[in-house]
Structure 1
Amino acid sequence: MPSTTKKLAIASAAFAMFAATSSGALAQKKYDPGATDTEIKIGNIMPYSGPASAYGVIGKTEEAYFKKINAEGGINGRKINFISYDDAYSPPKTVEQTRKLVESDEVLFVFNPLGTPPNSAIQKYLNSKKVPQLFVATGATKWNDPKNFPWTMGWQPNYQSETQIYAKYILKEMPNAKIGVLYQNDDYGKDYLKGLKDGLGAKAASMIVMEESYEVSAPTIDSHIVKLKSSGADVFVNITTPKFAAQAIKKNNEIGWKPVHFLNNVSASIGAVMKPAGFDAGQGI
């Protein structure tokens, strides 16, 4: 074989090999951590224990739904790997579990993490890591801040809008109402309270006769209910999570306090609130 022809043959073979290996490399798709051609890793934080454990059923329901999706073939051939950890509704624990999801499990995003205080604790971290904090299970107004937290997306109707609706109804139907408020002493409770006051406007100061706050670590809110009854309030705005909502309904019934009772939607559960409180005790809410 002439020298020039031999060189061309070698060069052609080398180019063919390079083209083959290059096309293979180009064909390999690039994904963020948590996604492959066969799997999507989804992280979740839920209070399976602690004072808000009634919400744990949400995580179990999501897990069951994703299993159904997988059984039906997944999403475009990808199976969902749903990794859900218990944070006991404790922000320090939320931070610990979220770091585990991001840095150890390497999830694609954190989906539907529950609670205003827990989500507040991880918002800056997830945004700094550019890991989506997707469809947070809390209605606080703070989640609508795409300028400062573009990786956080809310989902629920916001709490302030809800209590503004209650306030509008009270002003129309009970303009002389004496309102007693029980609220959780954190961003969740304060958001609801602000909405109520904004909705009542100039009349908030005169219509709200007592505000009682409780800590989520408290074993009971019975004493707060007794104080609210003694205030003479004839309207009760109940801004509580399920455990305390059930306690409030039960205690109201025990002491014979029968105000017009507004219960926030985060505790509008038959199984977690109305049943343990006693169906008879919850009539008229």
Structure 2
Amino acid sequence: MGSVTASWAQSPGVTDKEITLGTILPFSGPASSYATSGMAGIAYFDKVNAEGGINGRTIKVISYDDGYSPPKTVEQARKLVESDEVLMLFSTFGTPTNVAIMKYMNIKKVPQLFVGTGGTIFGDHKKNPWTMGFRTSYQTEGQIYAKYLLKTKSDAKIAVLYQNDDFGKDHLTGLRVGLGEAGKKMIVAETGYEVSMPTVDSQVMNLKASGADVLVLFSSNKFSAQALRKSAEIGWKPLTFIAGASSSVAAVMKNAGFENVQGVISGAFQKDPDDPQWARDEGVARWRAFMEKYYPKGDQHDLNVVSGYNSAQVIEQILKGLGKDVTRARVMEAASSLKDVKLDMLLPGITVNTAITDHYPVEQLQLVKFEGERWKLFGDIIDGGKIEIAD
């Protein structure tokens, strides 16, 4: 028994009684509405502990605020790794924020798992083998919207509003790649914005002036709601697409005004609890029971909460499978060998799959259209396939 205990002691964040995880979230700042995803993950481990923990250990989660500021994220990551000595980071939110700590996490060989972003860069297993995303990559999402437009509206005049960072640019790259040569004519306007800006009202007005009949929003929650509302205020009614990461009914669509968002299209990989077709779904029932008991302050209309639940479920499965011998290397090995993992809140037909050479756990989407006060699925599940990352 002594030798086994010594093995545990060699891995930071693991004792015979406890496993310590870390996460960094925007509790403050321009992306604060997204913090609910990580908070749901933290609450999920409260549930795990209440049910007896994992293989005889309780799970402790240490979380810090970075205000969606990359320099602050770096500071907090160093604190979690060097002072708190966590086993790993999970569900840390944001594209620019995770990019800021990715090199550090890989040098330190600390798992940076299921980051709260679809940035394509987080699946680069060659350069960053200790990092992994979760949701469908932003490039894949952009490509799927492009395929839909080419099939249903090949004469579209497209205007794009994008966040001027890795989040927005990654989506835009996917759209351009998906449209191919046709995109040179179809995209008539592109306008970026900084997250420090108070509004994107002027950008929306400029995009309308381009004569576009399709508006694509690769923007975060706050600015997506502003853009949808402003578009309606100025009487502009283009066919509108919105990034899946910014499709929350509670944080975006409701704030924009339900009357202003009818017919908006997005992509989904997880169940929307507001969709009546899931009223008797066992997975959704388990999720609701979790929310009511362990995260009662959470908004059950917020898809970000669903994302946090999904990610935490996979972390739980990984840790359970490791038994007593939990190390950073074994966590990463397990995370890189997931096969057809089903989760309570993934859409039927969508499963989690990874490999040493495939760090994209979810590579499928189904399109959704906003009707009334909810998203409605349409069409078939679309497999985005593999992504090649440029050097």
User: In 1, Cα distance between the equivalents of 2:118 and 2:68?
Assistant: 16
- Cα distance change on mapping 1:25 and 1:165 into 2, 3 Å: closer
Instruction: State whether structure 2 residue 151 is matched by structure 1 residue 175.
Output: no
Note the alpha carbon deviations across 1:62-112, whole angstroms, 9 max, x for none: 121110111111001111101111111110000011111011111000011
Note the alpha carbon deviations across 1:106-144, whole angstroms, 9 max, x for none: 100001111110000000111111111111111111112
User: In 1, Cα distance between the equivalents of 2:35 and 2:123?
Assistant: 25
Correspondent of 2:3 among 16, 26, 48:
26
Counterparts in 2 of 1:38-187, with a 5 A limit?
38-187=17-166
- Kept after mapping to 1: 8 A contact 2:5/2:16: no
Higher helix share: 1
Q: Which amino acid aligns with 2:178?
A: G
User: In 2, Cα distance between the equivalents of 1:64 and 1:144?
Assistant: 27
User: In 2, Cα distance between the equivalents of 1:217 and 1:93?
Assistant: 15
Shift of 1:25: 4.2
Helix, strand or coil at the partner of 1:30: helix
- Cα distance change on mapping 1:76 and 1:25 into 2, 3 Å: closer
Shift of 1:29: 3.3
Helix, strand or coil at the partner of 2:263: coil
Note the alpha carbon deviations across 1:140-198, whole angstroms, 9 max, x for none: 11112222211111211111111111111111111111000000001111111011011
With a CA cutoff of 8 Å and minimum separation of 6, indicate the structure with the bigger relative contact order: 2
- Kept after mapping to 1: 8 A contact 2:140/2:174: yes
Helix, strand or coil at the partner of 1:193: helix
- Kept after mapping to 1: 8 A contact 2:38/2:93: no
User: In 2, Cα distance between the equivalents of 1:102 and 1:26?
Assistant: 25
Instruction: State whether structure 2 residue 169 is matched by structure 1 residue 190.
Output: yes
Query: If the length of structure 2 is used for normalisation, what is the TM-score?
Result: 0.66
Query: If the length of structure 1 is used for normalisation, what is the TM-score?
Result: 0.90
| Map of 1:223 onto structure 2 | 202
- Cα distance change on mapping 1:112 and 1:27 into 2, 3 Å: closer
Q: Which amino acid aligns with 2:228?
A: I
Note the alpha carbon deviations across 1:20-73, whole angstroms, 9 max, x for none: xxxx74353322010011101000011111111110111221121110111111
- Cα distance change on mapping 1:25 and 1:77 into 2, 3 Å: closer
| Structure 2: unaligned runs, 5 residues or longer | 265-391
Instruction: State whether structure 2 residue 219 is matched by structure 1 residue 211.
Output: no
Q: Which amino acid aligns with 2:91?
A: N
Helix, strand or coil at the partner of 2:7: coil
Q: Which amino acid aligns with 2:62?
A: I
User: In 1, Cα distance between the equivalents of 2:157 and 2:172?
Assistant: 15
User: In 2, Cα distance between the equivalents of 1:185 and 1:245?
Assistant: 14
User: In 2, Cα distance between the equivalents of 1:148 and 1:178?
Assistant: 37
User: In 1, Cα distance between the equivalents of 2:2 and 2:175?
Assistant: 59
Note the alpha carbon deviations across 1:189-232, whole angstroms, 9 max, x for none: 11110110111110111110000000011110000000001110
| Structure 1: unaligned runs, 5 residues or longer | 1-23
User: In 1, Cα distance between the equivalents of 2:259 and 2:3?
Assistant: 67
User: In 1, Cα distance between the equivalents of 2:114 and 2:147?
Assistant: 28
User: In 2, Cα distance between the equivalents of 1:26 and 1:265?
Assistant: 48
CA-atom RMSD in angstroms: 1.0
Correspondent of 2:249 among 270, 280, 284:
270
User: In 1, Cα distance between the equivalents of 2:76 and 2:257?
Assistant: 35
User: In 2, Cα distance between the equivalents of 1:60 and 1:155?
Assistant: 17
User: In 1, Cα distance between the equivalents of 2:16 and 2:5?
Assistant: 10
| Map of 1:13 onto structure 2 | none
Q: Which amino acid aligns with 2:121?
A: K
Correspondent of 1:241 among 220, 226, 230:
220
- Cα distance change on mapping 1:100 and 1:163 into 2, 3 Å: same
Helix, strand or coil at the partner of 2:75: helix
Helix, strand or coil at the partner of 1:29: helix
